Structure 1
Amino acid sequence: MSEQIARVYVDADSCPVKNEIVSICQELNLSAVFVSSIAHHISVPEGFSHVTVDSDKEAADMYILNHTRRGDCCVTQDHALASILLPKGVNVLSPRGYVYREETIMQMLDARYFSQKERRGGGKTKGPKAFTEEDRSQFCYQFTTILSK
């Protein structure tokens, strides 16, 4: 996207790159809003916002959905949230540095659906692999690239 990033929103409940987000936003003189449920206490440095929402399953997602606009950036691990934000023109990035794209999001949602269906039927599926320093580096690279556009 060629539009300047207006604001960064972070689905913060289980985000492993909060410190990196703060550092990169400070370098680029951008603000960020960290959204978490009341069940997760987080602190953010001065100059950053923290919004606490109900502990309902989708409360953070709904807040982010209702407040983002074209040109914003959202960091989330939630494929469903990403699939709703992409058509709004929001740049969406996972904490592992994966840039969500409209062309591939349906495949990701389908895979998630089939895994959930398998588990409901008593089957076992693989969980996510451990978060690595390579994931952290990839995130920093992609996040800086998106914010620098």
Structure 2
Amino acid sequence: MKIWVDADACPAVIKEVLYRAAERCQVAVTLVANQPLRIPKSAFINTLQVMKGFDVADNEIVARVAAGDLVITSDIPLAADVLQKGGKALSPRGDAFTPDNIRARLTMRDFMDTLRASGIESGGPAALNQADRQAFANALDKLLAQYQKSRN
């Protein structure tokens, strides 16, 4: 299992959780972004810089993800592509994207895009808070525990 991070939009506090998890569980974490990133020195943490452009990082993640890998993203279409390839997807708020919920999430995303395109202000998501960070850490720990159990 590898962990891929849609790093351009991933909050710093979530990256810190991922860095600690990579070391603790000795799992490879790759942050994919269109700009240079500072990461701690680690055999398990690296970056992949891609060219700037719409969905370039997302497309690179989809090209590299394998069945069983985990992708950290809030991008619903990216999560759908990851699920289609047999990977897992988790939002920085700890919400798991699953085959059971992805269609409804895509539909809601498209609906909100339509509202915004028609001039209706829908606002963005609330700022990430401590409860979100804890929910992410808990969901990540659960997935990593399942992975560790399957390795033994």
Find 1:54's aligned residue among 46, 51, 55.
51
TM-score by length of 1: 0.92
Q: Size of the alignment, in residue pairs?
A: 142
> Counterpart in 2 of 1:93?
90
> Counterpart in 2 of 1:147?
144
CA–CA separation in structure 2 for the residues paired with 1:14 and 1:58: 12
CA–CA separation in structure 1 for the residues paired with 2:129 and 2:120: 27
> Counterpart in 2 of 1:7?
2
Q: What displacement does 1:126 show?
A: 2.9
Find 1:42's aligned residue among 30, 37, 40.
37
Q: What displacement does 1:127 show?
A: 1.3
Q: What displacement does 1:78 show?
A: 0.3
SS of corresponding position for 1:102: coil
CA–CA separation in structure 1 for the residues paired with 2:71 and 2:144: 11
> Counterpart in 2 of 1:63?
60
Equivalent pair of 1:91/1:146 in contact (CA under 8 Å): no
The alignment-based identity, stated in percent, is: 28
CA–CA separation in structure 2 for the residues paired with 1:88 and 1:95: 20
Give 4+ residue runs of structure 1 displaced > 4 Å after superposition: none
Q: What displacement does 1:61 show?
A: 0.4
> Counterpart in 1 of 2:124?
127
SS of corresponding position for 1:103: coil
> Counterpart in 1 of 2:115?
118
Q: What displacement does 1:58 show?
A: 0.5
> Counterpart in 2 of 1:3?
none
Q: What displacement does 1:95 show?
A: 0.4
Per-residue displacement from partner, 1:53-81 (whole Å, max 9, x unpaired)? 11111010011000010111110010000
Structure 2 gaps, min length 5: 147-152
Residue type of the alignment partner of 1:45: P
Q: What displacement does 1:24 show?
A: 1.1
CA–CA separation in structure 1 for the residues paired with 2:75 and 2:87: 14
What does 1:69-84 align with in structure 2 at a 5 Å threshold? 69-84=66-81
TM-score by length of 2: 0.90
